[in-house]
Structure 1
Amino acid sequence: MSQDLITQIKIALVKKGKNQKWLAQQLKISTAYMSDIMNGKRSPQDKIKEIKAALDLE
């Protein structure tokens, strides 16, 4: 996942008053996996659409 998208996700979480744990719950993934995504350790191509939908990103 690109650093730009990670930054967009972080900004969207702040705007919504949500955190990574909330997003992990929405995606039905572990918080550890979500943390790896946010730290650029994993690139879950199959979850990008779900992440964008949960955060109302285009």
Structure 2
Amino acid sequence: MSHDFIIKIRIALATHNKTQKWLAEKLEISEAYMSDIMNGSRKPDAQVENINIILKELEKNKEM
């Protein structure tokens, strides 16, 4: 995963007052795996699409 994508995730979580734990729960993955993704030590290829969907839902809910 690119560093830019990780920054995008961090900004979205901070903007919406959400945590990596929250995102891990939404993705149904462990907190440790989420942490590894965010630290760049694991590739989340299977999760990229789901992460984008969740981030879009956050933005959509913000507009309401």
Q: Once superposed, which parts of structure 1, at least 4 consecutive aligned residues long, lie more than 6 Å away?
A: none
Q: Distance in 1 between matches of 2:7 and 2:16?
A: 14
With CA pairs under 8 Å and 6+ residues apart, which has the higher RCO, 1 or 2?
1
TM-score by length of 1: 0.93
Once residues 15 and 56 of structure 1 are traced to their aligned partners in structure 2, the CA distance between those partners, rounded to angstroms, is 13
State TM-score, norm by structure 2: 0.85
**2:32 is aligned with 1:42:** no
In structure 2, the partner of 1:10 is 10
Residue of structure 2 in register with 1:32 after alignment: 32
Alignment coverage as a number of residue pairs: 57
Identity %: 53
Q: Distance in 2 between matches of 1:41 and 1:30?
A: 15
**Uncovered stretches (5+) of structure 2, i.e. residues with no partner:** 58-64
Using the alignment, how far apart are the partners of 1:8 and 1:23 within structure 2?
A: 13
- Tell me which structure has the larger Cα radius of gyration: 2
